[in-house]
Structure 1
């Protein structure tokens, strides 16, 4: 059943819920999961903008899973370069350890890796979680995957929301993103149809494990209840 409220009202409601999560404990971690191209990063950006307006800079921080991509040198060594973006091309144990630190260590700044889409490579210590941050938002495809190492990361998150989108729009966004960051149109379409499609099927099956499902639709954002 879909909550029939305006997109703006939905985003305000989600921001308020995220703030309440952070205010309810020493520090909270909110995960945003979803298939490639569903709109996870867009939702995170909108949430952080709204939270900053209400609580000020640094109250919420952003630590995406993408910083835990294995570098291309490692993918070549492992024979995984042609599957870049699949679960086995990440470091889930390192991701879990960072989220555990984020929860536990609130008296000093914590540095986290980022990901440069132009280079298509992780960047060490590109992000920082301020000591005073009450909420850390993390996003990624595999936050709800039923695997011991990914499950460890899930245990470090207080809530996980899942972003869903209609398949046509999702794939179009994904292809456009691949083209923007260097692939030809043909390469982008092939990658989305092969590599991304396998990953999307795996991620879609995890939606039922989410605490909330948010739909990125043609009319904006809505909450699936």
Structure 2
């Protein structure tokens, strides 16, 4: 059975950078939660477009189902979605997890959120680590990211204050449930997967 390591943390904590480095170090595959963003057309139908990135704007049960497949379906390539930041949309079937991959590193804000759909996700993760980062650094990264992908600096600041900071407060409440806390600025992530 394939091992799955989860990387959780607040928006802008450096989860993706850390997860990509850890997957490379372990010879695994990085499969982010962000592929399970609901598309804008779905968010519009649910009147959630202005909260994009909040827990309810993801298909968490779909994410849990993919992680369950990744754990057990090791005889063929399993295809996972990605998130295209230039489009701000999910892309189906963008990440191939080959049969010989022994480790998947997945990451996202809500892996430790204590609600039914996110508990279903956590149940598929062998070990979940929390990425810690200075709050000033985290917010600056978020503003810069939003500007890089099309918002004005004022729009970016407002989005961080209204959406990202609220999500950060929500997920930080789950930090104590993490199996390990790691420093986002750690250049070399741990070299061994969690024990079987």
Cα deviation digits, residues 186-221 of structure 1 (max 9, x gap): 00010011100100000111100000011225x867
Alignment pair present for 1:175 and 2:143: yes
Return the alpha-carbon distance in structure 2 between the equivalents of residues 27 and 221 of structure 1.
23
Alignment pair present for 1:109 and 2:77: yes
Cα deviation digits, residues 114-161 of structure 1 (max 9, x gap): 100000000010111100100001000000100111101100000000
The residue number in structure 2 matching 1:140 is: 108
**How big is the shift at 1:222?**
8.8
Secondary structure of the residue aligned to 2:150 is coil
Distance 1:27-1:80 versus aligned 2 partners, 3 A rule: same
Alignment pair present for 1:81 and 2:49: yes
Secondary structure of the residue aligned to 1:137 is strand
RMSD (CA atoms): 1.5
Matches within 5 A, 1:205-220: 205-217=173-185
Q: After the TM superposition, which parts of structure 1 deviate over 6 Å for at least 4 consecutive aligned residues?
A: none
More helix, by proportion: 1
**How big is the shift at 1:61?**
1.0
Out of 1, 25, 37, the residue aligned to residue 12 of structure 2 is 37
TM (norm. structure 1) is 0.81
**How big is the shift at 1:104?**
1.1
What is the number of residues matched between the two proteins? 190
Return the alpha-carbon distance in structure 1 between the equivalents of residues 26 and 118 of structure 2.
27
Return the alpha-carbon distance in structure 1 between the equivalents of residues 89 and 102 of structure 2.
29
Secondary structure of the residue aligned to 2:38 is coil
Out of 76, 95, 104, the residue aligned to residue 127 of structure 1 is 95
TM (norm. structure 2) is 0.93
Secondary structure of the residue aligned to 1:183 is coil
The residue number in structure 2 matching 1:48 is: 23
Distance 1:214-1:118 versus aligned 2 partners, 3 A rule: same
Secondary structure of the residue aligned to 1:106 is coil
Matches within 5 A, 1:185-200: 185-200=153-168
- Whether the 8 Å CA contact 1:215–1:221 is kept in 2: the answer is no
Unaligned runs of 5+ in 1: 1-25, 53-59
The residue number in structure 2 matching 1:22 is: none
